[in-house]
Amino acid sequence: MLAGSITEVAAALRTKRYSCVEMTRTLLDQIERLNPTLNAFITVDPESALADARRGDAAIAAGSAQPLTGIPIAHKDILATAAMRTTCGSKMLANYASPFDAHVADRLKRAGTVLVGKTNMDEFAMGSSSETSFFGPVRNPWNIAYVPGGSSGGSAAAVSARLVCGSTGTDTGGSIRQPASLSGICGLKPTYGICSRYGLVAFASSLDQAGPFAQTAEDLALLLNAMAGHDPRDSTSLDRPVEDYTRTLAAGRGVRPLSGVRIGLPREYFGAGIDAGVAAAIDEALTELRALGATTVDIALANVRLAVPVYYVIAPAEASSNLSRFDGVRYGHRAASYSDLNDMYEKTRAEGFGAEVKRRILVGTYVLSHGYYDAYYLKAQQVRRLIADDFRRAYQGCDVIAGPTAPTAAFRIGAKTDDPVEMYLNDIFTVAANLTGAPALSIPCGFDRNGLPVGLQLQGDAFTEAMLLDVAHRFQQATDWHKRAPTLAVEARSLPAEGAQ
């Protein structure tokens, strides 16, 4: 009775194979057993979760169950929630209680989900390994000596370890897709503006998007259905007709369901620097996609090699401004003693922020400063436009762009923390979708030679989420990578509940 997929669990709950409360209690036990090892959760609130579960059971009994009623989920600790503290993995907000819920959190609550807790993450979403958290690193359920990816590592690990059915993350440069890839699960970043940013603690405002983690593409679609939609409180939220992201998934399309789908393969995504095991898994995945009827076509994205440097100018710039509000004046950490205002600011921020956050604030301040703005920030925004133009041209000749989500599978905890630039190169395949605002997802497609998961990234033009999910879903109907669970979760399945026989 561990967290199966959303569709499985929803069916079980509706047919009363078990109740929401029973399911939630079991998962809470599991979390209590595994979280000390994985450190996926910063906060778990059993009382609040069980209250949600009771509401779910009542709805099922009343016949008013929704597709996500009773489904246990977790939120990345960067989403504001009134029920539980919101820390962003930082000492700065270690005890911060938000008076309001993030819009997407509120939507998922109204969709009937059970909120189990808030997950661990790189501090203020800055990182690709979930090692910079004030609350300690998150461990990969596939091998606890390895990172789960970042910055949404806790949310990814929680789903990977089958502690929840689904979770939320945020993706600014790949922070949903890369941990999904490294943790062997599915993750999606929607088109910029599809999910409201109200209540997401801002890292880089023009790049941040909330998105779902789950075991299957179909589950991602169910979660996205609940999360997406216009919010007048977010001026960058798009007002578009409501979409059902599951709408094409049920239809049977025969043995070659991907007939007519053209998959673009950028030569820039298949060059040197990719781990051999990753390359092999991706190759196999492409073979499978062709077997399903898709055609592949070589494409060129000439400026995408500049995506990482562009990202590491724009994101820190916006972050340096967004994090200015953490000054010890109105909420959050404030230094215990100080001699004057400037001393208070300096001590508060020196104490409250970790090294990576400070690094990015400094870089961001630098690239915006007088005399450097034109050469760095403005130039980066101009190159961003060139990258977007490349993709726009590419989509004239293909429907989906595929490739590895990350150049390697998971790496050892501590392996890259001494070299920030090496850490940044984890993002080479993911950042472009944030720069262009386009949707992208990652699904498991194999393992490397160390037995660690490999992720296949699918990207599309704006508003093509439903199509991407369909391609992923068809792949998952023909393969079973997404059904593989780490031993740690499988073993837990056979662990008896305390006191039970």
Partner 1 sequence: MNWEVVIGLETHAQLSTASKIFSGSSTAFGAAPNTHASAIDIALPGVLPVLNRGAVERAIRFGLAVGGKISKRSVFARKNYFYPDLPKGYQISQYEIPIVQGGALTIATGRGEKTVRLTRAHLEEDAGKSLHEDLRGMTGIDLNRAGTPLLEIVSEPDLRNAAEAVAYAKTLHALVKWIGICDGNMQEGSFRCDANVSVRPSGETKLGTRCEIKNLNSFRFLEQAIEFEVRRQIELIEDGGTVVQETRLFDPDRHETRSMRSKEDAHDYRYFPDPDLPPLVLDARWIERVAAELPELPEAMKSRFEDKYALPAYDARVLTSSRELAAYFEAVAADLPDRAKLAANWIMGELSAALHKANLEVVDCPVPASALAGLLRRIDDGTISGKTAKEVFDAIWERAARPAVHGAGNGAATRDALSADSIIAQRGLEQISDEGALERIVDEVLAANESVVAEYRSGRQKAFNSLVGKAMQATRGKANPAQVNAILKKKLGA
Token pair in block for residue 366:
């630098």
In angstroms, rounded to a whole number, what is the distance separating the alpha carbons of residues 471 and 289?
Answer: 9
Could you say whether residue 417 binds partner 1 (CB under 8 A)? no
Is 338 in a helix, a strand, or coil? coil
Could you say whether residue 365 binds partner 1 (CB under 8 A)? yes
Smallest separation (angstroms) from partner 1 to the CB of 320: 8
Binds partner 1 by CB under 8 A, chosen from 27, 202, 282, 286: 202
Which residue's CB is nearer to partner 1, number 6 or number 315?
315
Instruction: Answer whether 410's CB lies under 8 Å from 178's CB.
Output: no
Nearest 5°: CA angle at 146, between 4 and 355? 115
Which residue's CB is nearer to partner 1, number 40 or number 102?
102
Helix%, strand%, coil% for the chain, nearest 5: 40, 15, 45
Nearest to residue 67, comparing CAs of 108, 120, 125, 22? 108
**Exposed e or buried b for every residue in 367-377, given b needs 16+ CB within 10 A?**
bbeeeeeeebb
E strands, 397-459, are 400-404, 440-447, 453-459
Which residue's CB is nearer to partner 1, number 321 or number 450?
321
Binds partner 1 by CB under 8 A, chosen from 47, 330, 396, 500: 330
Q: Select the span of 26-34, 80-88, 296-304, 384-392 touching partner 1 (CB under 8 A).
A: 80-88
Binds partner 1 by CB under 8 A, chosen from 99, 241, 252, 254: 99
Could you say whether residue 313 binds partner 1 (CB under 8 A)? no
Could you say whether residue 86 binds partner 1 (CB under 8 A)? yes
Could you say whether residue 385 binds partner 1 (CB under 8 A)? no
Number of chain residues interacting with partner 1 (CB under 8 A)? 42
Q: What is the DSSP string of 270-298?
A: SSTTS-HHHHHHHHHHHHHHHHTT-EEEE
Calculate the dihedral angle through the C-alpha atoms of 288, 290, 294, 297, rounding to the nearest 10 degrees: 120
DSSP 406: S
Smallest separation (angstroms) from partner 1 to the CB of 350: 14
Smallest separation (angstroms) from partner 1 to the CB of 93: 7
Could you say whether residue 263 binds partner 1 (CB under 8 A)? no
Which residue's CB is nearer to partner 1, number 344 or number 415?
344
Residue among 130, 175, 181, 237 flagged as catalytic? 175
Binds partner 1 by CB under 8 A, chosen from 26, 48, 205, 450: 205
Instruction: Answer whether 295's CB lies under 8 Å from 326's CB.
Output: no
Which residue's CB is nearer to partner 1, number 69 or number 209?
209
Which residue's CB is nearer to partner 1, number 199 or number 404?
199
Token pair in block for residue 15:
């047919």
Which residue's CB is nearer to partner 1, number 122 or number 318?
318
Residue among 76, 91, 189, 347 flagged as catalytic? 76
In angstroms, rounded to a whole number, what is the distance separating the alpha carbons of residues 253 and 230?
Answer: 32
Q: Which amino acid is at 401?
A: I
Binds partner 1 by CB under 8 A, chosen from 235, 337, 396, 501: 235
How many Cβ atoms sit within 10 Å of the Cβ of residue 497?
A: 12
User: What residue spans of 39-92 are helical by DSSP H?
Assistant: 46-62
Rg (CA), the chain: 21
Binds partner 1 by CB under 8 A, chosen from 18, 338, 373, 463: 373
Taken as a whole, the chain contains a residue count of 501
Could you say whether residue 98 binds partner 1 (CB under 8 A)? yes
Binds partner 1 by CB under 8 A, chosen from 115, 200, 281, 471: 200
Q: Which amino acid is at 75?
A: H
CA atoms within 13 A of residue 131's CA, in its CB half-sphere:
20
Q: Which amino acid is at 361?
A: I
DSSP 140: B
Backbone angles phi, psi at 440, to 5 degrees: -160, 150
Active site residue 76: yes
Could you say whether residue 493 binds partner 1 (CB under 8 A)? no
Nearest to residue 97, comparing CAs of 392, 273, 332, 289? 332
Which residue's CB is nearer to partner 1, number 62 or number 330?
330
Binds partner 1 by CB under 8 A, chosen from 134, 142, 198, 311: 198
Which residue's CB is nearer to partner 1, number 197 or number 482?
197
Token pair in block for residue 251:
């239809």
Could you say whether residue 133 binds partner 1 (CB under 8 A)? no
Active site residue 151: yes
Could you say whether residue 80 binds partner 1 (CB under 8 A)? yes
Could you say whether residue 311 binds partner 1 (CB under 8 A)? no
Could you say whether residue 351 binds partner 1 (CB under 8 A)? no
Active site residue 160: no
Residue 170: its H or E element:
strand 166-171
Binds partner 1 by CB under 8 A, chosen from 17, 64, 95, 100: 100
Residue among 128, 130, 133, 151 flagged as catalytic? 151
Residue 115: its H or E element:
strand 114-119
Would you call 49 exposed, middle or buried from its count of C-beta atoms within 10 A (0-12, 13-18, 19+)? buried
Instruction: Answer whether 101's CB lies under 8 Å from 109's CB.
Output: yes
Token pair in block for residue 88:
């962003």
Binds partner 1 by CB under 8 A, chosen from 145, 276, 341, 375: 341
Could you say whether residue 345 binds partner 1 (CB under 8 A)? yes
Which residue's CB is nearer to partner 1, number 246 or number 320?
320
Could you say whether residue 431 binds partner 1 (CB under 8 A)? no
Catalog residues that contact partner 1 under the rule CB under 8 A: 79-80, 86, 88, 93, 96, 98-100, 102, 197-202, 204-206, 232-236, 317-318, 321, 323-325, 327, 329-331, 341, 345, 365, 368-370, 373, 377
Q: Which residues are catalytic?
A: 76, 151, 175
